[in-house]
Structure 1
Amino acid sequence: MSAHESLEIELKFDVDAGLPAPDLAGLVPDGSVSTPQTYLLEATYYDTADTVLARHRTTLRRRTGGTDSGWHLKRPSTVKSARRELGVSFDDAPTDDGVPALIRDQVAAIVRRGELSPVATITTDRTVTSVFDADGRELAVFCEDLVSAESLLPGGGVERWAEWEFELVEGDGALLKRAKAYLKEAGARKASSVSKLARAIGSQPIADEQRDVGPKSTALDLVLAGLAAHRDALVAYDPLARDDAPDAVHQMRVAARRLRSILTSYPQVLTPESVDPIAAELKLLGTVLGEARDLEVALETNELMLARENSPADLYEALVEGERVRHERAVRAMRYALSTDRYLTLLDDLDDLIADPTPGIDADSPARDVAAEAVAASYRRLRRAQKALRGYDSWSPEWVEALHTIRKRAKATRYTAESAAAVRRSSFADVGDYAKKVQNHLGVFNDTAVNRAKLAAVAEHTPLSPAALFVLGRLDAREEARGRKSVKAYRRL
């Protein structure tokens, strides 16, 4: 099933029915407008009985009419005045099987066990006018809508209204700003709702759970704010990870690790009984995501290494095609894990912990004090690992293993320091910056060690031509040099 995702950047206004639209050609020097086109759009909106999608600023509809009939999923974006829109045409999605599986997967982390069913029908008489620049480039589209909406929820009714939308195509923010002032002068008013659906069913977005954490906040405030932020990141990256979008699996794993780091770095802020099971599940989730991520990195590394060589076909088959098969298998396993009840239970448990925490003995202590203790304890563990390195001969197996321990301790220290950033203490930032540098340098070394082990396994277990073995030796030498360079950079710290 194919799909197309785009960024929808638009302005929305309430207007009086029958208000004439202004001439939009004046928005652009030497601009022009198209002949208005009229469409009848008929849409059925889907959500759960408690409208969880709408409360997460997400809308899902099946719409006919216009130029883009099909399924549309609209979600928040980090770009101002923009939303992400995923479209699936009817050619790619059966019309009689309910919500397509691809879209159900995209909202699984929000909907979880809820059933998606029709919650509203909306019919729109739309008149569309395109705005062009002097070169004939389409900059924006202006929509005049007469809307009739019926809520299918208990107690719902029918409502009718008029609105205008101004959506960028190839235009920029300056055009959007001019259009906003221009349309308000013509009689448009600020939209009373963020979407047609929200107005139809009266749903309100969930209030942000982000807490304003400062120097005088409690440790519980600090922990809950961090958990909420990284829980939101985990849910946001879930659909992207399912699609194996670039860097999405990595970012989702980072979110899981940061959640677990907060739970383990502040052991007395929440009770162990409420924290330990969630931390264990987050560790397992990180492992599942890690398998897909590590193979993604290995595939990218192998492709990059071979791009610098006149690589024989049998070596390309072993290092790229074979790795691609393993990566695809790991991604399928990850998708399965994200569809299990166990994963959905983890998300529920995180929500419950944030909404109704069980405070520990340090919950009411000043965040500044508890954070300082957590950062100091993590830094001490890092320093102990660094001192232990001196007891081994350089490049011995024990010494290499000790470097890996330092890398893991540095990562933990970095996460702990960054979790305390909200209390605005410069020493925490200094520790976090140092730990990040250690992690980065030794992370490169760890990557080269893993790569060299895989190259050795290929050489031992895969029948290769002499030319392939020669190139394999060159790759190993380059990775060894890269690893030694990263260790040297670490030692300079």
Structure 2
Amino acid sequence: MGERVAETERKYEASGQSGFEADGLAGVAEVRRPAADRLDAVYYDTAGLALVAHRTTLRRRTGGQDAGWHLKLPTAQADTRTEVHAPLGSATGEATGEPPEELRTEVAAIVRGHPLAPVVRLRTTRRRTLLLDDEGRTLAEIAHDEVAADLAEPSEPRSEEPSWTPGPAWTETEVELAEGGADLLDAVEERLLAAGMRRSSSPSKLAHALGDRLVPPLPGPPAVPETAGQTATGYLYEQLTALLALDPAVRRAEEDAVHRMRVATRRARSALKSFGRELDRRVTDPLGGELKWLAGALGLERDREVLAERLARRLAELDPALTGEALRRRLRARGEGEPSTEAATAGSASSAHAALVRELDGARYFALLDGMEALLAAPPFLRPAADAPAGTSAAATVRRDHARLRAAVETALAMPAGDDRDTALHDARKDAKRARYSSEAATAVLGKRAAAHTSRLKGIQQLLGEHQDGYLCRTALVPLRADAVAAGEDPAPYDAMIRRERELAAGVEADLPAAWREADQPV
């Protein structure tokens, strides 16, 4: 994958050259002004400008100090974006302008199968001022840019050279941090403003060039929701943002990315249920069904990992005299085992990951993301419930989901130990997730009391999750034991592992009543 760096910069505009002087800036020991650079950058996007709509830019630039492919992704931090670099010549189709696969992977969830093609060309004359400390390190770079834009004629993206139309020309100044801190950025800004400059009205050169072609981003939620509908859509917006951010990490097979993406999917689906009084279920139920499908697709690999870890722990606890090769072989056959079976496990994991990526490249997944964005762009509010005050409505939703959980836990605890109780505790676990997630959503308006409630419910969810993981482990061991018996092998190790899982489950069931009494508090 390309090199990833955090880029912190501010943009300013004014007519003509800035009169900035660096003398006297704290920590700045030297100022250098290298020769001017000539930069030529071609920006890529879909026909519908999907990248622009998601505050993302992808360009191929020649000239200057960092020629190459540059992908810039938004972050939650002010003035900061994540920049992913790839060298020139790294794309197999670069002769025809196709971006590198590693960068296309980063934006797959945004592009959603649509081709990328040139949309804007910027030719820039850049004059730099470098601010250095007494060790010669660059603290910040001030770039005064004279920019001329050409616009590709609107059409379906294609690989051949587009037809260019002259666009706007302008000047702007960028200040980018290197080794310096935010205090230096503020000090430079103070001098630029005093010299007659102002913060740029455009978030990027690309946005400036596009002008009235610019596609506005999906509006984000208010910091503090005022209505019940805003509470619902704000939480859903957070989950969509998480899905889009985690998608490339899942494709790169980063540790824990699948789990976090699955949680975001479950949160979104749970929210559609919890806010069924504010959002029209005729619209949200089909979307909830697709979220369930995605959670299942993500869960196949995650469930395999969880089961493998649990079986490995049970195997490690056995008397060494019972851990023969036949037992290990049967565990390997399921793709589970000890570190000694690393190659087999890695192969299984690789196959599962490839299958997941195929799902993420499919039309069904892309349609789900389209559906979530469409819902947020035009929420199917049910009034007057959606217009109700956020605080009172959120509290009512949390109490309703908590009551549902209370009934499920009490029902399960009233049952004798056995399969029926196992099933009831699994149902309670699902209700615990729903109650926890609606409490999370309410934190934006209820503050600390909702946060404390969420923490209590997380403990219950984890306890019930431990019980369910043990149940699934026992379930997996039963057919393995049967196969061993049919082959004339000793069933003792399987019996020991099943017995241990039953002991752990009994411990959870013994702890649950006291844990529930602690968690069963009003919001």
Common topology (TM > 0.5):
yes
Q: Is the 8 A contact 2:8 2:81 kept in 1?
A: yes
For 2:238, the equivalent position in structure 1 comes to 229
Where does the alignment leave 5 or more consecutive residues of structure 2 unmatched?
155-163, 329-336, 485-492, 516-523
- 1:254 is displaced (CA, Å) by 2.0
For 2:345, the equivalent position in structure 1 comes to 323
For 2:29, the equivalent position in structure 1 comes to 31
Equivalent residues in 2 for 1:92-241 (5 A)? 92-94=90-92, 95-97=94-96, 98-153=98-153, 157-202=166-211, 203=214, 205-206=216-217, 208-211=219-222, 214=225, 217=227, 219-241=228-250
Match of 2:376 among 345, 354, 362: 354
Deviation digits for residues 106-153 of structure 1 (CA, Å, limit 9, x no counterpart): 223323354322111111222344433223333333323222222224
Deviation digits for residues 139-193 of structure 1 (CA, Å, limit 9, x no counterpart): 3333232222222245963332222222122222222222222333445432232
Q: Is the 8 A contact 1:295 1:323 kept in 2?
A: no
Q: 1:360 to 1:475 in 2, by over 3 A?
A: same
Deviation digits for residues 223-252 of structure 1 (CA, Å, limit 9, x no counterpart): 333333322332232233222334332332
Q: Distance in 1 between matches of 2:107 and 2:393?
A: 37
Partner of 2:36, secondary structure, is: strand
Equivalent residues in 2 for 1:295-310 (5 A)? 295=304
Q: Is the 8 A contact 1:156 1:201 kept in 2?
A: no
More displaced, 448-457 or 405-414? 448-457
Q: How many pairs does the alignment contain?
A: 482
For 1:403, the equivalent position in structure 2 comes to 425
Q: Distance in 1 between matches of 2:513 and 2:340?
A: 35
Q: Distance in 2 between matches of 1:454 and 1:321?
A: 22
Partner of 1:85, secondary structure, is: strand
- 1:43 is displaced (CA, Å) by 0.7
Match of 1:76 among 74, 77, 80: 74
Q: Is the 8 A contact 1:22 1:186 kept in 2?
A: no
Deviation digits for residues 197-224 of structure 1 (CA, Å, limit 9, x no counterpart): 1111112642624257656x2x444433
Q: 1:476 to 1:214 in 2, by over 3 A?
A: same
More displaced, 192-201 or 289-298? 289-298
Q: 1:27 to 1:249 in 2, by over 3 A?
A: farther
Q: 1:399 to 1:322 in 2, by over 3 A?
A: farther
**Are positions 1:293 and 2:302 aligned together?**
yes
CA RMSD of aligned residues (A): 4.1
Equivalent residues in 2 for 1:331-480 (5 A)? 331-360=353-382, 363-364=385-386, 366=388, 371-393=394-416, 396-424=418-446, 431-447=453-469
Q: Is the 8 A contact 1:299 1:320 kept in 2?
A: no
Q: 1:151 to 1:273 in 2, by over 3 A?
A: same
Q: Distance in 2 between matches of 1:105 and 1:27?
A: 42
* One-letter identity of the residue aligned with 2:127: T
Q: Distance in 2 between matches of 1:435 and 1:33?
A: 56
* One-letter identity of the residue aligned with 2:95: D
Q: Distance in 1 between matches of 2:354 and 2:302?
A: 12
TM value normalised by structure 1: 0.82
- 1:60 is displaced (CA, Å) by 1.1
Q: Distance in 2 between matches of 1:486 and 1:13?
A: 60
Where does the alignment leave 5 or more consecutive residues of structure 1 unmatched?
463-470
* One-letter identity of the residue aligned with 2:79: S
Q: Distance in 2 between matches of 1:35 and 1:300?
A: 58
Q: Distance in 2 between matches of 1:301 and 1:191?
A: 55
**Are positions 1:280 and 2:289 aligned together?**
yes
More displaced, 426-435 or 176-185? 426-435
Q: Distance in 2 between matches of 1:253 and 1:76?
A: 22
Q: Identity rate of aligned residues, in percent?
A: 34
Q: Distance in 1 between matches of 2:132 and 2:81?
A: 23
Q: Distance in 1 between matches of 2:127 and 2:495?
A: 66
Q: Is the 8 A contact 1:28 1:133 kept in 2?
A: no
Q: 1:297 to 1:425 in 2, by over 3 A?
A: same
Partner of 1:334, secondary structure, is: helix
Q: Is the 8 A contact 1:129 1:141 kept in 2?
A: yes
More displaced, 450-459 or 411-420? 450-459
Q: Distance in 2 between matches of 1:135 and 1:300?
A: 50
Q: 1:174 to 1:322 in 2, by over 3 A?
A: farther
Q: Is the 8 A contact 1:257 1:286 kept in 2?
A: yes
For 2:161, the equivalent position in structure 1 comes to none
Q: Distance in 1 between matches of 2:109 and 2:270?
A: 21
* One-letter identity of the residue aligned with 1:324: A
For 2:62, the equivalent position in structure 1 comes to 64
